[in-house]
Amino acid sequence: MALIPLLGFTWVSSDRTDSRINLDLTNLTVFTLNGGAISWKSSKQDTIADSTTEAEYIAASDAAKEAVWLRNFLSDLRVVASISRPIDIFCDNSGAVAQAKEPREHHKSRHVLRKYHLIREIIGRGDVRICKIPTEENVADPLTKPLARVKHEAHANSIGMQYLDASS
């Protein structure tokens, strides 16, 4: 079996669905390896967020923890030759990216639960790197919100998903 270098990427997205009864926040994380999705997760956030920035920060923190686990899992399986580069986490929220990169309390985030700040340590160790991307390029968005068919298909193709012809 040939060993391949890890070229892992993670896209995170969070969607807020308001209703008079409850406030649901859905996180979605997609991990890709060499152009194909290898792991994805859609889950409800276990805490209420006051803002989109906080929701995206929580999603990025959860993705960072999952990235560390996935990195160790792939390394133990010897699927990849080496994992020296950080796994990139792509987030389309500038505030969430800034909070993750800076190891200080921000006035608007002082109420964020301490456990979500683990992302700062994970970034500091060099296990992951968080990057700002334009919203149009966030391939996790189709799994958290409705998009036009063309955009949905483009995002699906970019993570290696293909439509199967049901007639064959």
pTM: 0.76
The CA dihedral of 109, 39, 67, 33, to the nearest 10 degrees, is -120
**CATH architecture, range 8-158:** 2-Layer Sandwich (3.30)
pLDDT at residue number 108: 64
Q: Does residue 28 register a pLDDT over 80?
A: no
pLDDT in tens, 131-140: 998 877 777 7
DSSP 77-117: HT-BS---SPEEEEES-HHHHHHHH--S--GGGTTS-GGGG
Q: Domain ranges in the chain?
A: 8-158
Residue with structure tokens 């792991």? 39
Percent of the chain at pLDDT exceeding 90? 10
pLDDT at residue number 19: 43
Residue with structure tokens 């060099």? 126
Residues 6+ apart with CB under 8 A from 6: 33, 71, 74, 80, 82, 83, 85, 87
- Classified as helix, coil or strand, 147 is coil
Most confident of 53-57, 76-80, 86-90, 128-132: 128-132
DSSP 6-60: --EEEEEEEEEEE-SS-EEEEEEEEEEETTEEEEEEEEE-SS--SSHHHHHHHHH
pLDDT in tens, 40-65: 777 777 777 777 888 888 888 988 99
Backbone φ and ψ of 66, nearest 5°: -65, -35
Backbone φ and ψ of 39, nearest 5°: -160, 140
Report the pLDDT averaged over residues 141-165. Answer: 71
Structure tokens at 99: 């909070």
